[in-house]
Structure 1
Amino acid sequence: MASRSSLPVRTLTISLSFLLLFHYVHCFNFFGIRPVDFKKGDDLKVKVKGLTSTKTQLPVSYYSLPFCRPEKIEDDAENLGEILLGDRSQNSPYVAKMLEHRLCNIICRIELDSEGAEKLKKKIEDEYMVQMILDNLPLVHPIRIFEHESPLAYQLGFHMGLKGYYSEEQAEKYFIYNHLLFTIKYYHDLRANSTRIVGFEVKPFSIKHEYNGKWKERNTRLSTCDPISKVTVINSDGPQVVEEGKEIIFTYDIEYQESEVDWPARWDAYLATRDDQMHWFSILNGLESILVISGILAVIVWRIHRDIFNYNDLETQDRAQKATGWKLIHGDVFRPPCNSDLLCVHVGTGVQILGMILGTMLLAILGLLSPCSKGDLITTMLLLWIFMSLCAGYVSARLYKMFNGSDWKKIAFKTAFTFPSVIYIIFSLLNALLWAQKSSVEVPSWAMFVLLLLWIGISAPLVFVGSYVGFKKEAIEKPVKTNSLHRQIPRQSWYMNPIPIVLIGGILPFSTVFVELSFSLTATWLNQFYWFFGFHLPVFVILTVTCAEISIMLCYLQLCREDYRWWWRSYITSGSVAIYLFLYSISYFSKSLEITKLISVLLYIGYMLVASYAFFVLTGTIGFFACFWFTRVIYSSVKFD
C-alpha cells in the first residue's frame, strides 16, 4: 500500500516541479531577465501601461481618453499574474531610435468635443498619472521633494495635467501636459561593444502650440518649437487649456545620456529612494522584542525544570497530590478541542501560506524574481500555493487523526475549499466593482475561470493526496493519557480571559512588522517603488520567533492556572496580529490616503480584509505549532502514574 500511495505524490510533485522550472526558464532564463543589446538606429518600443490615481485607486486604459493613437493598437502577451494585477501594456505612437535625438516631434492634433473635454478634466481632477515602460523599465519623473539640494526622488509616471490659475484669471482651469521630454539613459560596454538602456525619465510640459499655414500632420512646422535651434518653447501663449472646441497638439523630445550605471544595477537608483535606516530600525526593534521575551522565557524554562525535577523526585503519593499548576491537568491538556475540524483546516492552510511566502522570498533573494515584473511575482506565488497544497492536506489530516477523526475525505474537502472559497468570493465581489467602474484592472471572466480550474483541478486534488498520505501515517502520539471525565477549570482572573490575552498576544509581534507594513502599504496604494525582500526575510524570521515565544509564554501562564483549553487560544493569540494589521491599515487610510469615492473605499477595505485574514491564518499557525511543541516537551518530561 505504501508504494501505491506514494506513486501519485511522486507524479504530481515531479509535474509541478517541471511546471515551476519551465516558468522560470521561460520568463527569466533561470539566471535573471536577459539584457537587450541595442545598436544605433534600432527601434525602441515605448509602451503605455495605462492611467493610475492614488485618489480613486481605479486604473483606466490609456486609450479610453482622447490621446493620440498608433495606427493599430496591440496588446502585449501577458502571464496570469499580470492579468490578475491588471498590469497590461500596449504600443504607443511615441517613436524612438537608439542614440538618435529627436526634437519637436508631432504626434497628432486633437480637437476636443464636450465628452472628451469632460473626461480629461475629470481625470486631471482625480490626479491621474500616465504610466509607460521602455525595455521593461518604468517611466519615472525625477523630482526633489524638499529643497534643491535634496537628492532626487523618482515618481512613477507623470501627472497627465494640473488644475490651477494662469496669469490674472480668476477662474481655475485645467491644463494638460501635451509635450514630453524623454531622457533615455544608456550604458555602453566597450569590451562587449554593447549598448543597454539603464534609465527612462520624463519631464512633462503644457504648451499651447502654434503653427503658420495649413496643418500638414507631422510635417507641420510649429512656431512654438524649432528643432534646428534646439529650442522647444519659443513664443508660446502659455499652457494648453482643456476646454471644449480647443485644439491640442501633442509633441515630444527624445534625448540620450550616457550613464556609468551598468545594466544589472539599473534598478538601484529607483529602489534607493527608500530609507534603509528605517528597515534596519525595524530589524533592531524586532531583535529587542525577541531579547525581552527570551529573558522571560528563560525564567519560565528554569521554573519548569525545577518543577519537573521536584515532581519526578517525589517518593510518596501524598506529596504528589499536593502538586499544583500545570502538572494537575495532565489528563486534560491533550483533550481534543471544540470545532477541531476547523482548527485542523486553518493549521493546514497556514502551513500552505508559510511555504508559499518562504519560497517566494527565497526565489526573490536568489535573483529569480525581478522588480520589473510584478506579474511574475504573483504567478510564482500562485504556483507555490498550488504546490504547497500537498503540505496543507498532509498537516490537516495528521492533526485530524490525532483528534480521533475517522473520515479523512471530510477534512481534505474542508481544507481544499474553506480558505480559498472565502478569498475567491471576496475577490469576485471586488472584481465586480471594478467591472462596474470600467477599470482597466478588471480581471476578465476567462481569467477568473482559469483560477477556478487551478483551484478545483490542481490544488484541491493535491490536498486530497496530501490528506490521504497523512491519514495513513500513525497518529501523533500523546505524551500523556486523557481522562474520560473533564476536570473543572478554576475561575480565572480577568486578565487571563480570552479577550485580554488575545489582545496582549498580538502587540509585540505587530511591533516587529509595522515599519515594513508601512512601506508595503505606501508602495501598494501610493504607487511607489518597493522591492526589499532582503529586509523582508529577517523581519519575517523575527515575526515568526516573536509569535512563537509570546504564544509559549501565554500558554504557560494559562496552564499554570489549570486552564487546559490551549488549542484554540494558542492559535488566536498569535493570530491576533492580524487585528492590529487591519486597524493599522484603517489608520493609514485616514491619515495617508485621499480616497473619497465609496467604490474605492470598499476596494481598500476588501483587499485589506483578505490580507488580514491570510495574516491571521499564517501567524496563528506559527503560534499553534510553538505551543504544541512546548506542551509535548514539558508533559513528556514528567513521570505521571
Structure 2
Amino acid sequence: MHADVRRSAIFCSFLVLAQAFYIPGFSIKSYRDGETIPLFVNKVYSDNTELQYAYSELPFVCTPSGRTHSGSSLISGTSLSLNLGEVLRGDRIMVSDYELVMGNDEEARYLCSHQVDRKGLKRAKEIIRDGYVAEWIVDNLPGATSFVTTDKSRKYYAAGFKIGEEYYSSGSTEPQYFINNHVTLVIRYHQAPGKDGQQGKKVIVGFEVFPKSIEAGNRNEDGLPVDIHNVEYGMELHISPNTTDAEGEYADPSSVSETDDLDDGATLTIPYTYSVYFREEEKLEWQNRWDMYFVAQDESSKIHWLAIINSLVILGLLTAVVAVIVARTIRGDIKGYKDGGVEEGKAKVKRVRGTRSPRKSAEKGGLLDHLGDADADADISSDEESLEDITGWKLVHGDVFRPPPYGGLLAPLVGSGMQLVFMAAGLLTLSCFGVLNPSFRGGYISVGMGLFVVAGLFSGYFSSRVYKTFGGQLWQKNVLVTGTLIPGLLFATVFILNLFVWAQASSTAIPFGTLVGLIALWLLIQLPLVYIGGWYGFIVVGAWDHPIKTNVIPRQIPLQSWYTKSVQTILIAGFIPFAVIFIELMFVFKSLWQDKSGYYYVFGFLAVVSVILIITVIEVTIVATYVQLCSENYHWWWQSFLVGGSSSIWIFGYLLWYYFTKLHITGFVSSLLFFCYGFLACGVYGLLTSTIGFLSAYAFVRRIYGAIKAD
C-alpha cells in the first residue's frame, strides 16, 4: 500500500514538472504602431472528412493580386517555404491581400469582387455543406472563433472560422447556402516585454475572426455595404437556372435544375470586404497567448486525473500479481528444484541406506530379506515422487532457449520496434518540456521523422543482436530486411493512399518532390545508419549468452488448456493495457477527428499514462510468459512479442466503435483514409509495445533460468 502511495506521488510530481515547462516559440516578434502585419491564408478542413484543401486554390475566393505589401518584401500570392511536417499535415501557406496595420482600425475595407461560374458555385456549396472551416494565420497564431465556457467564467478559442452556412427555410426541403463574404478581424495585443516595450512596441496575443454573410446589393461606389452592422440579407449562392432549351425556346423554370448546365457561362459576383480592430489585452502575456486554445482541455482535467487513477489501480493489482509470482512461486520453485537435486536436466537419485540389489536379495531368499527389499522399494518410490514434484517451467529448461521459427523475421521486427521506442520517447520528452508545441507548426512530424531516421542505429543494433542470438549468420541480409521491411510497408501504404488523395486535388496529398525527399531520407540516411548499428551489434558486441544449453531433441509439448492457447492469451492479455489507456485515448481521438481545430496539449498527463502503460505491458507479458512456461510450452518467443502488442487489437476495435458512433465522416476516400491510417497507427503502436513485451519477457526468462544455473 505504501509503495502504491509513493508511486502515485512520484507520478504526480512528474506531471507537475512536465506541465511547468512551456516554450511557446523561439523568438518574439514585436510591432510598432503603423507597421504592417502580414496575414497568411492556409487551408480549409472539416470534422466530416479527411480531405483538406488549400484556401487560395478555392474557385470562389479572391485571386491574389501580386502586389507588394507596404513596409515589407512580402508579395501577395507567394507561397511560404514549409518544413516537412507542415507539408505532410496538408499546410499550404500563402501571403494574402489583407492589409493589417498595427493600431489602425478599419471599419470596412474592400478586398475584391470575384466572379464565380456554376462549377465554382457547386464547389462552394459542397465546401459549406461538409462543414469546412478556414485557417488564417497572423504572427503564427491561427485565426480563431471565440467561445465562452459553460459557466461563462472564461473565454476560449477554437481555431478556424466557417466558410458559410447551410440554411433550411420553413416548409422547404432544399437548403439555401450563404457564403461568409465579410470578416471582422480582431487583433489583441499586449505591451512588448523588455526594451521593445519601453519603445512603445507591441506583441500580438490573440487573433479572432468573426465571419458574416452580406448581400451583394445595397453598396456604395467603393463596393462597401451601406450598413455593415444591420444586415437584412446574406450573400446567397444562387444563379437563376437557364430557362431556354438547346433550341433557344423558353422552358419552365420549375423543371430546370441549377446544375443542369454547368458550362452555360452564367456567373455570380461575390464582393469580399473586411474590418480590422485592434484591442489591448492587459492581463494576457505573450508567453501565455496559446492558453486560450487550451482552456477547453483544462476544463476536462478532472477526467484526466480519473484516467491516471484508473491506470494506477490496474497497475497496482497487476504489480501485486507479479510480486507474488516472483517473490513466492518462482523462488519456491527454484528452491525445490535445487533441493530435488536436478541440475541441467539430470536427476541425482539419492542412495538409500539398507538398499540391496535384487540379485543379492533373491540369493538369500529370507523373509527378512524380502522385507528389506520392500523397505528399499518404498525409499526409492519416495525419492521418485520427490522428483515428480518438479514440473512446469522447470521441465522445459532444456528447450526454453531453442531458436523460434521465422527468427529471421522476428529479429527485424524487434529492431524496428526499438526504432519506434526511441522516436516516441524523444517526442514525448520534448513535448513535456515544451520544445515541441503548437507554435512550432509541423514540429511534431518533422522532429518525429528526424528521430526515426537517427534511430536507425538502434534498429540495426538490436536486430543484429537478436538475429545472432537466434543463430543467424547472414547479418548483412538481416540489416537489409530491417532497414526496408517496416519503412517500406509504411511508404508503400502511404503512396497508394496518396493516389486517392491526388485524385481529389486535396492539399493532404503529398507532393511528388516530398515523396522523393522521403525516399532519399530512407535509403541514403536511415539505411546506412541501420547498417552501422547492425555491424556493431553483430560483429563487435555479438549475441546474448544463455545460462542453459539447449537439448538436441525438442521436448514434446502436452495438450494446452483453453486459456493458454495463442488467440485466447493474446486477447485476454491485451485488454489490460487497453484498460489503462482507453480514457486518455478518448481525448486523443477527439483531438484528431472530432475537434481538428483544437490542439491536444496535455502531454503531462499523456506522459504519466504512457509510463504506466509501459510498466503494464511489461508485467502482463511476464505473467503470460510464466503461465505459458508452466504449461510446459517453450514456444514463448513469438507469443511474448504478440502479447506485448495485443492491446493494439482492442484499440483498433475502439477506433471502429468511435467511427460509427461519434464521427460523421462521409465519402469513400475519407473513410478509406480514416481506416487505413487508423490501422497503420495501431500497427505502429503494436510494434512498439510488442518489442517492449518481447525484451522484458526475454530478460525475465534469462533471469529465472539463470537462477537455476547459479546453484
Same fold (TM over 0.5): yes
Matched, 1:102 2:106: yes
Q: Given the superposition, is the C-alpha separation of residues 31 and 241 from structure 1 closer, same or farther in structure 2, using an over 3 Å criterion?
A: closer
Which of 476, 480, 502 lines up with 2:544 in the alignment? 476
Q: Which residue of 2 aligns with 1:202?
A: 209
Q: Which residue of 2 aligns with 1:253?
A: 275
Q: Which residue of 2 aligns with 1:91?
A: 95
Quote the Cα distance in structure 1 between the aligned partners of 2:84 and 2:445. 8
Kindly provide the CA deviation profile for residues 423-466 of structure 1, in whole angstroms up to 9, marking residues without a partner as x: 00110011111101000121111110110111011111111111
Q: Which residue of 2 aligns with 1:176?
A: 179
Quote the Cα distance in structure 1 between the aligned partners of 2:548 and 2:520. 45
Kindly provide the CA deviation profile for residues 324-371 of structure 1, in whole angstroms up to 9, marking residues without a partner as x: 111111000010000111111111111100000111111222222221
Quote the Cα distance in structure 2 between the aligned partners of 1:626 and 1:406. 25
Matched, 1:240 2:235: yes
One-letter code of the match for 1:233? H
Secondary structure, counterpart of 1:273 in structure 2: helix
Q: Which residue of 2 aligns with 1:362?
A: 429
> For the Cα contact (< 8 Å) 2:428–2:607, is it kept in 1?
yes
Deviates more, 1:394-403 or 1:109-118: 109-118
Matched, 1:385 2:411: no
Kindly provide the CA deviation profile for residues 36-81 of structure 1, in whole angstroms up to 9, marking residues without a partner as x: 0111111111111111122222111212221123312110111112
Matched, 1:506 2:532: no
Identity %: 35
> For the Cα contact (< 8 Å) 2:322–2:619, is it kept in 1?
yes
Secondary structure, counterpart of 1:184 in structure 2: strand
Matched, 1:56 2:49: yes
**TM-superposed deviation, 1:286:** 1.1
Matched, 1:618 2:688: yes
**TM-superposed deviation, 1:518:** 2.0
Q: Given the superposition, is the C-alpha separation of residues 391 and 122 from structure 1 closer, same or farther in structure 2, using an over 3 Å criterion?
A: same
**TM-superposed deviation, 1:155:** 2.3
Matched, 1:269 2:337: no
Which of 558, 582, 593 lines up with 2:628 in the alignment? 558
Which of 143, 148, 158 lines up with 1:155 in the alignment? 158
> For the Cα contact (< 8 Å) 1:32–1:367, is it kept in 2?
no
Q: Which residue of 2 aligns with 1:35?
A: 28
Q: Which residue of 1 aligns with 2:336?
A: 310
Matched, 1:116 2:120: yes
One-letter code of the match for 2:274? Y
Q: Given the superposition, is the C-alpha separation of residues 169 and 314 from structure 1 closer, same or farther in structure 2, using an over 3 Å criterion?
A: closer
Which of 488, 491, 499 lines up with 2:556 in the alignment? 488
One-letter code of the match for 2:41? V
Matched, 1:278 2:278: no
Kindly provide the CA deviation profile for residues 144-172 of structure 1, in whole angstroms up to 9, marking residues without a partner as x: 475x7375443221111111145887753
> For the Cα contact (< 8 Å) 2:164–2:177, is it kept in 1?
yes
Quote the Cα distance in structure 1 between the aligned partners of 2:708 and 2:224. 94
Kindly provide the CA deviation profile for residues 170-201 of structure 1, in whole angstroms up to 9, marking residues without a partner as x: 75311111111111111114753141111111
Quote the Cα distance in structure 1 between the aligned partners of 2:696 and 2:419. 17
> For the Cα contact (< 8 Å) 1:69–1:92, is it kept in 2?
no
One-letter code of the match for 1:507? F
One-letter code of the match for 2:276? I
Secondary structure, counterpart of 1:266 in structure 2: helix
> For the Cα contact (< 8 Å) 1:32–1:369, is it kept in 2?
no
Secondary structure, counterpart of 1:58 in structure 2: coil
Quote the Cα distance in structure 2 between the aligned partners of 1:314 and 1:439. 71
Q: Given the superposition, is the C-alpha separation of residues 598 and 221 from structure 1 closer, same or farther in structure 2, using an over 3 Å criterion?
A: closer
Q: Which residue of 2 aligns with 1:185?
A: 188
Matched, 1:142 2:146: yes
**TM-superposed deviation, 1:204:** 1.2
Q: Which residue of 2 aligns with 1:22?
A: none
> For the Cα contact (< 8 Å) 1:394–1:463, is it kept in 2?
yes
Matched, 1:76 2:80: yes
Which of 403, 413, 432 lines up with 2:470 in the alignment? 403
> For the Cα contact (< 8 Å) 1:69–1:93, is it kept in 2?
no
Q: Given the superposition, is the C-alpha separation of residues 453 and 112 from structure 1 closer, same or farther in structure 2, using an over 3 Å criterion?
A: closer
**TM-superposed deviation, 1:125:** 1.1
Secondary structure, counterpart of 1:638 in structure 2: helix
One-letter code of the match for 1:405? G
> For the Cα contact (< 8 Å) 2:460–2:530, is it kept in 1?
yes
Quote the Cα distance in structure 2 between the aligned partners of 1:66 and 1:178. 10
> For the Cα contact (< 8 Å) 1:209–1:223, is it kept in 2?
no
Quote the Cα distance in structure 1 between the aligned partners of 2:145 and 2:175. 25
Kindly provide the CA deviation profile for residues 522-577 of structure 1, in whole angstroms up to 9, marking residues without a partner as x: 22223122122222211111110000000101111111111111100011012111
Which of 379, 392, 402 lines up with 1:325 in the alignment? 392
Q: Given the superposition, is the C-alpha separation of residues 507 and 374 from structure 1 closer, same or farther in structure 2, using an over 3 Å criterion?
A: farther
Quote the Cα distance in structure 2 between the aligned partners of 1:190 and 1:554. 58
Q: CA RMSD in A?
A: 2.0
Quote the Cα distance in structure 2 between the aligned partners of 1:198 and 1:480. 66
Quote the Cα distance in structure 1 between the aligned partners of 2:175 and 2:709. 84
Kindly provide the CA deviation profile for residues 554-609 of structure 1, in whole angstroms up to 9, marking residues without a partner as x: 11111111111110001101211111111111111111211120111111111111
Quote the Cα distance in structure 2 between the aligned partners of 1:429 and 1:246. 38
Matched, 1:423 2:490: yes
Deviates more, 1:246-255 or 1:179-188: 246-255
Contiguous gaps of at least 5 residues in structure 1: 1-29, 225-231
Q: Which residue of 2 aligns with 1:413?
A: 480
> For the Cα contact (< 8 Å) 2:59–2:116, is it kept in 1?
no
Kindly provide the CA deviation profile for residues 458-485 of structure 1, in whole angstroms up to 9, marking residues without a partner as x: 1111111111111112321101110000
Q: Which residue of 2 aligns with 1:539?
A: 609
Deviates more, 1:297-306 or 1:314-323: 314-323
In our comparison, the structure showing a higher alpha carbon Rg is: 2
Quote the Cα distance in structure 2 between the aligned partners of 1:382 and 1:562. 43
Quote the Cα distance in structure 2 between the aligned partners of 1:596 and 1:495. 41
Secondary structure, counterpart of 1:440 in structure 2: coil
**TM-superposed deviation, 1:143:** 2.7
Quote the Cα distance in structure 2 between the aligned partners of 1:516 and 1:161. 33
Q: Given the superposition, is the C-alpha separation of residues 170 and 346 from structure 1 closer, same or farther in structure 2, using an over 3 Å criterion?
A: closer
Quote the Cα distance in structure 2 between the aligned partners of 1:187 and 1:34. 16
Alignment of 1:562-641 (within 5 A): 562-639=632-709
Secondary structure, counterpart of 2:125 in structure 1: helix
Quote the Cα distance in structure 2 between the aligned partners of 1:361 and 1:561. 39
Q: Given the superposition, is the C-alpha separation of residues 169 and 558 from structure 1 closer, same or farther in structure 2, using an over 3 Å criterion?
A: closer
Quote the Cα distance in structure 1 between the aligned partners of 2:192 and 2:686. 50
